Amino acid sequence: MAGYTPMIQQYLSVKEEAKDAFLFFRLGDFYEMFFDDAINAARELEITLTGREGGGEAKIPMCGVPYHSAEGYINRLIEKGYKVAICEQVEDPAAAKGVVRREIVRIVTPGTVMESKSLESKSNNFIASVAAAGGMLGIAACDLSTGELYVTSFLDTLEGLTDELNVYMPSEVVGDAALLDKLAASAGWSRPVPLTAREPIAAGKLAEQFGEEQLAALSAARLRAVGQLTGYLEETQKRSLGHVRVITAYEPNQFMILDHYTRRNLELTETVRDRSKKGSLLWLLDRTGTSMGARLLRRWIDKPLLSKSAIDRRLDAVETLYRDLILREDFRAELSPIYDLERLVGRVAYGNANGRDLNALKTSLRRIPALAELCRASGSKVLMELVEGCDDCSDLADLIETVIVDEPPVSIREGGLIRGGYDDYLDQLREASTNGKKWLAELERAERDATGIKSLKIGFNKVFGYYLEVSKANLSMLPEGRYERKQTLANAERFVTPELKEKERLILEAEDKMVDLEYARFIELRDQLALHLHRLQRAAAIIAELDAYQSLATVSAERRYVRPTMTEGFGLQVEEGRHPVVEAMMDGAPFIANDTRLNEKEQRILLITGPNMAGKSTYMRQAALISVMAQIGCFVPAKSAVIPLIDRIFTRIGAADDLIGGQSTFMVEMKDIQIMTEKATASSLVIIDELGRGTSTGEGMAIAQAVIEYVHDHIGCKALVSTHFHELAHLEDTLPSLSNARMAVEESGSDVTFLRKLVSGAASTSYGIYCAQLAGLPQTIIGRAYALLDDADQAASNQPAQLPRPDRLAAAAIPERPEPHVAEAPAPGYSVVQLSMFEESAAASAEPQKAKKASPKAEHLAEELRKLDLFNMTPMMAMQWLNDQKAKLRD
């Protein structure tokens, strides 16, 4: 730093404390940035890059933003994933010797944003911490704007880590360096957020924040995660975190587990196509009136319950509001005017709440008594228990009303905040200021009369104070000796008198004291409220829960949903179920309802066949969404529903290539299936759409059959599997708990109608060419496709019978064909080995007289097939075996 000016040396010294952040360095009315920070900020913020002399050989790059508009620039940097360190003057320039002392007062990061303008009101902004200890992984997640802090732990698996982190969708992650490296490389983690290595805070300081009792209940991994997160928050925020005092610990098995792909495929909180809320389950169910209610509802959807009693408790509350329209509307009317209490409390604790924030807090608290009375009169045990002994915080609302004026200014440093009558001395100062201004008005009138100058006026500016202004044309009318010249303008002169100077001193002294005193009284009020944060947070939690109940009840009543019967058994029975979101998006058009019946003995797995666009995917998703809705405590779209507790839902729907990871659709699908085989239990629900479609027909069908058999024989869970391999329908004969079903199709000549109705039995065709015709492909392509299919049929008719094949529907432009049916002729390209590769009797099914002498390689393959222990192979093992055999046959 040698050679630089003292100010630049100070800048460089401070910058060492925030190497990974943009340093906003306060110089007068601007925040300035220098060196690389200036170059990068000018690019990111699209502001002018300049330079200044700093003692070095060349000018130092520099850019800056006005301090009064800095928030917008800071937010833009935060949204891009950067951190910003705020460096302020912490010394009175008038008293400073040399360079004014400056310090970093706060580091703003994506996970620690507090300004409400940059926060989505209906979503949390979590910062998470990850830690490893004692063979366990711990996760702590905090929303600094609301004060919520959650912590959990689980066995040391990367999948478990990403699954749990994805629940919170954190804006930033801190923690163990090695663990963060693994997270960054994980295929299940794709959020582009800052990852910062941090060690835990000292045990003593952690105890000061949370108390020994809360910490004693935490395991080593949880304690380390909380310690890392708390240390990082203290380091960056540099102030008391008075609203972050309660640790909410939970076990993962208290909630249904939904991995990242399942959340995406079911579109629980955002859609796959454009990641918008509209079209998601959250969009449908969110009729909340408050921001904290909306955030709570989102958390319920993210973490469905696994306790029957807890689910029934929510359902009881929802049913009360569902059946009483007037009560429900009364709740909505009381909730609507309530501000975001949780974040208002956070601003109070943080020390950045202004007068308008406190009035919003007061307005919100005034609604609590009416809400509590509605709960007591509802007849609902759940609602009455929720507000039992309810603290309405009326004393705090009264205090705010006593101190703060009805319409306070935005700034708390310019006066105009405190009500008259609250502080006697303040009232005296106001009177002195008011009387002084009256005196000035009387002086102006008297001077006009004495001089005869009608345009004479008294004015004020911050440089010269109060003055008498006389135009140059009237200067000759002024008497000599009484007026002291203060300032000369182009067309006027300004003067003062001894009386005016004395009155100015009294008025300005009163106004300065008024502003300082109002600021002091406001800070006293804010500090007094900060002593009651726990009361305010409890009130906010009650309001949020009531709001979530009424939201679920409102949607359920308007859409004629029914209360599900929750069981701890196996069977899932849904009569006339509907896809909730698809139905809502149909704008009143009728939705074709379907039953879903899965039971432990006869029908654990439903194998669904049928054409594309017939509704298979919608049907399977609707079964999953109905289960999710039931376990968050919502009524469901059905005529009746008996729903078991489902511990985890696996979905393999609409796989896409992982281009970044260099993996094909099939590999992504197989990895998901592999996780399912490891994690699924008998209480899980597995949904697989078009299993095995990403590879060749023969291998895809073999893998599909192996997976289905594994789910049936080893996992024993409920499963819905759709497939284009109609030949797999024979599994109904060999797997006692599997049943075939198909989406019904009505055919009339060359016309086809997809009825969207699930019926028993297997489909005979996929109507692939017909779907291509519906998609608008040129008729020449459609005709050519049918011609090629005719050629394949002809070739197949000359081959030995192998497998039944699907027939197809004639296009309008092609000569009329017989109606589709299950053909007796073999399907081209299918072989007995491909379908029955897991049956030792497969080779014996071919007629001896037609069999040709097998090659040594083929004999070796047949021998290997006979040795396979299928029921102890995972799908990934089966796929690898197939790949190895193909390689050997090519050699």
Known binding residues for ATP are: 610-617
Q: Which two tokens stand for residue 373?
A: 């009375």
Compute φ and ψ for 493, nearest 5 degrees: -125, 145
Report the amino acid identity of residue 771: C
Q: H-helix or E-strand containing 751?
A: strand 751-760
Concatenating the DSSP letter of every residue in 621-636 gives: HHHHHHHHHHHHT--B
Q: What is the Cα 288 distance to its own chain's centre? A: 17
Calpha distance 237→113 (Å, rounded): 10
Residue 477 has a CB neighbour count (10 Å cut-off) of 11
Query: Any idea which residue has 């679920």 for tokens?
Result: 552
Strands (E), 134-220: 136-143, 148-155, 172-175, 195-197
Calpha distance 725→766 (Å, rounded): 9
Concatenating the DSSP letter of every residue in 790-831 gives: HHHHHHHHTSPP--EEE--PPPTTS---PPP-EEEEEPTT--
Q: Which two tokens stand for residue 443?
A: 């002086």
C-alpha distances in Å from residue 309, one per residue of 83, 314, 315, 382: 44, 9, 10, 12
C-alpha distances in Å from residue 270, one per residue of 57, 127, 133, 167, 544: 54, 20, 34, 13, 21
**Helices marked H in 387-466:** 394-403, 424-451
Nearest to 641 by CA among 556, 581, 709: 556
Concatenating the DSSP letter of every residue in 479-494 gives: PSSS-EEEEE-SSEEE
Nearest to 485 by CA among 509, 461, 469, 504: 469
Beta carbons of 199 and 231 less than 8 angstroms apart: yes
Concatenating the DSSP letter of every residue in 338-378 gives: ---HHHHHHHHHHT---HHHHHHHHHHHTTHHHHHHHHHHS
Strand pairing class (492-496; 565-567): unpaired
Instruction: Calculate helix-pair angle for 203-210, 220-237, nearest 10 degrees.
Output: 90
Residue 823, C-beta contacts closer than 8 angstroms, at least 6 positions apart: 804, 805, 806, 807
Strand-pairing partners, residue 594, are 577
Nearest to 20 by CA among 103, 128, 125, 110: 110
Residue 873 has a CB neighbour count (10 Å cut-off) of 18
**Three-state SS at 427:** helix
Q: Running DSSP on this structure, what letter comes out for residue 558?
A: H
C-alpha distances in Å from residue 148, one per residue of 145, 168, 230, 571: 8, 12, 13, 37
Strand-pairing partners, residue 139, are 130, 152
Q: Running DSSP on this structure, what letter comes out for residue 707?
A: H
Nearest to 245 by CA among 263, 226, 267, 224: 226
Q: Is 784 exposed, middle or buried (0-12, 13-18, 19+ CB in 10 A)?
A: exposed
Residue 834, C-beta contacts closer than 8 angstroms, at least 6 positions apart: 697, 698, 699, 701, 702
**Helices marked H in 452-592:** 498-530, 533-558, 580-585
Annotated binding-site positions: 610-617
Q: Measured on CA atoms in the order 161, 164, 170, 175, is the torsion positive or negative?
A: negative
Calpha distance 75→116 (Å, rounded): 11
